[in-house]
Copies of this chain bind each other. A is one copy, B any other.
Amino acid sequence: MYALGIDIGGTKIASGVYDDGHHLIQEWHVPTPRTAAAIDQQLVVSYEQAKQMAPIAAVGISAAGNVKADRRTMSFSANIPAWIDYPLAGKLETAIGHECPVIVENDANSAGWGEFMCGIGVGSRNMVMLTVGTGLGAAFVLDRHLYRGSFGMAAEAGHFPMVPDGRFCGCGLSGCAEKYVSGPALEAFAQAFVRRDPVAGKHLVSMAGGDVTAISGQMISEAAADGDPVAIEAFGWVGQWLGRTMAAISALLDPDLFVVGGGLSAAGDILLEPARRSYARYLQAARYRPHAGIVAASAGWRAGMLGVADLAMREISQR
């Protein structure tokens, strides 16, 4: 059996044909179009190309945004404004004459499932993936199944409340976790630190051409890799809150593994060591229970494409 996995990213659409042993038969990319209609068209093209390579039994689409519990409809996406209650799966099924079923999955869920099937998460029973990038995304694999909640809105770790009356979030609440654990949070902390102490922060200030507000996550990552103490402290601050987020999640879900992905995970132990220390510090009954592992994601950018192809195959085998 073969499935087509399509990952609609911010800049490119990646397509991959997989067999039921998770082997990648072929993959290809195109730039992501800007409109919903053009994306629909591109999905059809991808399917037609895939059909040349293998008999496709199911299609899985990974996309950023909220996917309804039916796994067919985008309810909202920050990137594609037209995706409000948008029947993404249905449109493709109609366009390809219902030759095979299509499912849609949130990008964090797809990547999390990919890590669980073929990445660092293999062998875990309850795995939490946290994606630390422009925001804080999450995927939960519970008792070896992807958990989606009642309305498709589970695992919104980014808007988990960390600090009462804390930093305002774009969602309209205060103190959401992603205001403390994300690339923008890393930048905000570093910029605040430098405002307080420009002497200690002079390396970052000079990288930013003297403009404190221009200090970027990229610069902080480079400076941290070079050993700059302020940049390392900024990662330590994010890592500390990441560990607290994990401890809070453990109080509810008691997973055996946390997988950290997203842009900031490239910093490796500069981020993860503070997270591990903070996790041990804030975990309830820490002395009396096994601790979950805290590791970096390993499946790379293909995790989402692979994950959603596998989810599509499972969907048809359950019908």
Contacts and interface: CB of A to CB of B under 8 A. Distances in A.
B254 A149 contact: yes
A151 to B, nearest CB: 5
Contacts of A244: 161, 164
Given A149-B126, A163-B165, A170-B195, A154 B282 contact: no
Interface in A138-164: 138, 140, 142-143, 145, 147-157, 159-164
A255 interface: yes
A156 B285 CA distance: 10
Given A161-B247, A166-B163, A290-B151, A282 B173 contact: yes
B161 A251 contact: yes
A248 interface: yes
18 contacts: A66-B288, A147-B253, A149-B254, A153-B289, A156-B251, A156-B254, A156-B284, A156-B285, A161-B282, A166-B166, A166-B167, A171-B195, A171-B196, A172-B197, A173-B284, A176-B284, A198-B287, A252-B253
Interface of A: 66, 75-76, 125-126, 138, 140, 142-143, 145, 147-157, 159-174, 176, 180, 188-189, 192-199, 244, 247-256, 282, 284-290, 292
